[in-house]
Chains A and B, each alone.
Chain A
Amino acid sequence: MTNMNMIQSLNSALDIMLDRDPDVIIFGEDVGYFGGVFRTTDGLQEKHGDHRVFDTPLSEGGIAATAFGMGLNGLRPIVEIQFADYIFPAYDQIVNEMAKIRHRSGGEFWSPVTLRTPAGGGIRGGHHHSQSPESQFTHTPGLKVVYCSTPYNAKGLLISSVESNDPVIFFEPKRCYRGPFYGDPHKVPTWSDHPEAEVPEGEYRIPLGQARMALEGSECTVISWGAMVHVCEQAIKDSGFSCDLIDLQTLVPWDKETVVGSIEKTGRCVIVHEAPKTSGFGAEMSASIQERCFYHLESPIVRVTGWDTPFPHTTEWDYMPGPTRIAAAIAQTQED
């Protein structure tokens, strides 16, 4: 085990996959010589050669389409979209092509692309460096959607994503690259003494579709993913209630057993995400829980989310769900 931040653990996963599988190839904007604007691919070109790790033209549509084609012809591309906000020029390729090829070809063709992309707010990125567009992809049958939250799960989930023969969108909470985020913008903790930053140097997998029980409790189930998992941890402490904290890790397909089991135990639920509320993945979770656990619910499910507005620059702390709002929501589920 080594202490790693999330950049290092992702880098380690990529390095292992390049070593292990000659079909793995990595490309994207600034990922080659420079090693990525967040340094995630640092050193990989030097080690594995520029025909396996390389820069591309600045064209997300081109990156996704080329990766798709390579995948059709037997390669296993891992591409980086520099910010999730910039994935939309590739949207058609992802939604209409990558996601549907297996089905539309009667299983004759598939393309095992992994699209990694830094997402989420908390870095003063304003409208276009802060969004968390997971629900724009969870609504697309044929894609698996993964959202890591710690150095440990980042590596294990990334290896599973690359090995998946289905296309995977892999969201990385950029605010957590170098440390967990507990909702206080003035505190910038590192991963150095965090248990989830103890990462094996070798390979290991976290299966897609499996959630992580980050905290265990009895009075409420808090469900979240990405950076918000840590904010929820803080909020649960602040609230004084005993809660299960479920880090979903994979949004599609999500871990039915863990979620249902927890709700059946606690009877109360708060869902937290930083993306806007309307049609956010919280809506899907809430509806599914209601369908499956109605008779176990003791109080209405509460969602705490980003507002239904673009993500602001200066006032981002008024936008992102913080421990206060989340703790209040937990308390609300305990009324009557």
Chain B
Amino acid sequence: MSSDGSKGSIRVPDAPFRPGEEASFDSWPWKPGDFSMPDPKTCEFKDTTELANGLVRVLDDDGVASGEWDPGLSAEELRNGLEHMVRLRIFDDRMMKMQRTGLLSFYMRSLGEEAVAIAQTMALQEQDWIFPTYRQPGAQFVRGRDMVSMICHCIGNEEDNIKGRQMPVHYSYREGRFISVSSPVGTQFSQAVGVALASSYKGLDEVTITWIGDGASAEGDYHYALNFASVFNAPVILNVVNNQWAISTHANFATGIGDFASRGLPYGLPSIRVDGNDFLALYSVTKWARERAASGAGATHIEVLTYRTGAHSSSDDPSRYRPGDEHTKWPGGDPVVRLKEHLINIGEWSEESHLELEEKIDSEVVEAYKEAVKFGDLANGPYPSADTIFTEVYEEVPWHLQEQHDEMMGGQS
């Protein structure tokens, strides 16, 4: 009955490079201008085969923008995008320092992926719904969230709007139509289709955008989302952020074919792969998808091709499973540097203005952080009142929770 494992085998994939190996990626065969832009309102999935197997780019390696997908943003809009990305990067650095010094419990950076949430949210309308993962907190800057309140959430202190209930980076920001982040990966993806269909039902001009990681796209939720979005023609933008890694597991384990965008085609969804470190391309593809959704033509499936430059989280040590300098070899470069160079190229920015911007934001972040810890930090408190364990479990506190609450508070009622 016993088998002999040495006779047969199971084909198990591997990451392209492991520690001690030299990482090197082929340069991309696709250049800006390679792909024309179909009409978003009439485009069918069949018309996007090349877009799904190719890569939409606007910025070339020298920071020059070209092609039909160039969104033609004003210098002011570009500077605004750059500022948000710089803000997110500096904010992330500060939060990591706070984590390392015990002022908050855990953290996840967006390093190398700053353009994703920022460019894509900027391409939307303010009534549109955002259904993020932990890797899209940057959308909140675009939607105007106050940094102090973001830090208070990460600490889980008295001013945390979610009352210390979830881990850091699990933001909820209703005012900005940014829906509460959940740890179980993938769940938001299919839920976003429901949010979008509710907008259709109500006849509102609202589009929903959501993201899922390369890793999490192996969850059932990814497939539910594509199918429901296609069957019910939902006004939703479905993004797979392929940042190459899911903790230590390479994207080679997420699909058998190594890419993601084309998986939307058999579901009947127009599908596009976009350079996720190219602010302009991301903006443009998202705007196209929004226009399509808003016109009633349905969902778009987008693979955002990028690289997770940092560790998965503050608990992770990527040097154990990938070469330390792998990110420096990524053909997509760094999204902040690329937009900065583009702005310099068109004469709308300079190294000096960039330094000034970094200094300005650095002090903005330091000030926000000092303000936030006044409401408590994880090491020293004060914490949200223990009452908050029992509230909002239900709309009203039922008797058994009231009883348990009173027991916790030492018998007083």
Grouping DSSP codes into helix (H, G, I), strand (E, B) and loop, the A interface class, with mixed when no group exceeds half, is loop
Q: Are B160 and A314 in contact (CB under 8 A)?
A: yes
Asked if A33 is an interface residue, CB under 8 A from chain B, the answer is yes
A70 to B218, CA, bound (A): 20
Q: With an 8 A cutoff between CB atoms, is B105 at the interface?
A: yes
- Complex: chain A residue closest to B214, CB-CB: A58
Return chain B residues, CB-CB under 8 Å to A55.
Answer: 12, 248-249, 253
Chain A residue at minimum C-beta to C-beta distance from B409: A318
Q: How far, in whole Å, are A25 and B3 apart by their CA atoms in the complex?
A: 11
Q: How far is the CA of A126 from the CA of B218 in the complex (A)?
A: 24
A34-B320, A127-B165 given as contacts; is B248 within 8 A of A314 (CB)? no
Contact with A along B302-316 (1 / 0, CB 8 A): 000000000000011
Does any Cβ of A come within 8 Å of B122's Cβ? no
Q: Is A85 an interface residue (CB 8 A)?
A: yes
A315:B384 contact, CB within 8 angstroms: yes
Query: Binary interface profile of B, 392-407, with partner A (CB < 8 Å = 1, else 0)?
Result: 0100000011001100
Q: Any chain B CB within 8 A of the CB of A96? A: no
Query: Which A residues are in CB contact (< 8 Å) with B249?
Result: 29-30, 34, 55-56, 58
Given that A277-B404, A313-B164 are contacting pairs, would A85 and B215 also be in contact in the complex, using a CB cutoff of 8 Å?
no
> Judging by beta carbons under 8 Å apart, are A124 and B105 in contact?
yes
Contacts of A21 in B (CB 8 A): 2
Q: How far is the CA of A129 from the CA of B3 in the complex (A)?
A: 37
Q: Which of B38-46, B179-187, B267-275, B292-300 contacts A (4 or more CB under 8 A)?
A: B179-187
A37 in the interface (beta carbon within 8 A)? yes
Q: What does DSSP make chain B's interface, helix, strand, loop or mixed? A: loop
| Closest Cβ–Cβ distance, residue B341 to chain A (whole Å) | 35
Docked pose: A32 CA to B386 CA in angstroms: 40
Docked CA distance A220–B289 (Å) = 66
* Cβ–Cβ contact A75 & B219, under 8 A: no
Interface string of A282-314 (1 = CB under 8 A from B): 000000000000000000000000011110111
Say if the beta carbon of B254 comes within 8 Å of chain A.
yes
Interface string of B1-19 (1 = CB under 8 A from A): 1111110011010110010
Contact B2 A307 (CB under 8 A): no
Q: Which of A179-206 contact B (CB under 8 A)?
A: none
Task: Say whether A125 contacts B404, CB under 8 Å.
Answer: no
Which of A29, A58, A126, A319 is within 8 Å of B167, CB to CB? A126
Closest chain A CB from B214 CB (angstroms) = 9
Please tell me if B378 contacts chain A, counting CB pairs below 8 Å. yes
The size of the chain B interface, using a CB distance under 8 A, is: 56
Asked whether A54 lies within 8 Å of B10 as measured between CB atoms, the reply is yes
Interchain CB contact under 8 A, B401 and A307:
yes
Please pick, from B3, B166, B316, B408, the residue contacting A127 in the complex, using a CB distance under 8 A: B166
Does any Cβ of B come within 8 Å of A51's Cβ? yes
Tell me, yes or no, whether A61 is within 8 Å of chain B by CB. Answer: yes
- Is there contact, CB below 8 Å, between B5 and A51? yes
A49 to B105, CA, bound (A): 36
Give per-residue flags for A199-219: 1 if the beta carbon is below 8 A from chain B beta carbons, else 0. 000000000000000000000
Residue interface mask B161-196, A partner, CB < 8 A = 1: 000111100100000000000111110000000000
Q: Given A128-B183, A307-B408, A312-B165, does the pair A89, B220 have CB atoms closer than 8 Å?
A: yes
B220 pairs with A307, CB closer than 8 A: no
| B166: chain A residues within 8 A (beta carbon) | 126-128, 313
B389 close to A23 (CB less than 8 A): no
Q: Does A109 contact B (CB under 8 A)?
A: no
Q: List 13 A-B contacts (CB under 8 A).
A: A37-B248, A37-B316, A55-B248, A57-B215, A57-B253, A58-B186, A59-B219, A75-B3, A126-B165, A128-B167, A307-B389, A309-B389, A312-B164
6 nearest A-B pairs in the assembled complex, by CB-CB distance: A314-B164, A57-B218, A128-B183, A34-B248, A314-B156, A58-B215
